[in-house]
Amino acid sequence: MSKILQSLPMTIVAGIVLTVIMVFATNKLENMNQSGAEKVISDMIN
């Protein structure tokens, strides 16, 4: 980890990778948190 942090370009790449992971985790958690009716509407919209 400290090797990544010593390099600024690697730090930026790691930040972008973490952003992508966070987007997937956000979608997963939002789906889990939705009630049945909300999920049906959300699926119809998306």
Considering Cα of 17, then 18, then 23, then 25, what sign does the dihedral take? positive
Q: CB-wise, 18 or 40, nearer to another protein?
A: 18
Distance in angstroms (rounded) separating the CA atoms of residues 27 and 32: 9
User: How near is the Cβ of 4 to another protein at its closest, in Å?
Assistant: 8
Q: Whole-number minimum distance, CB 25 to another protein, in Å?
A: 7
Q: What tokens appear for 38 in the block?
A: 């909300």
Tracing tokens 């790449």 back to the chain, one arrives at 13
| Chain positions contacting another protein, by CB under 8 A | 2, 4-6, 8, 11-12, 14-16, 18-19, 22-23, 25-26, 29-30, 33, 45-46
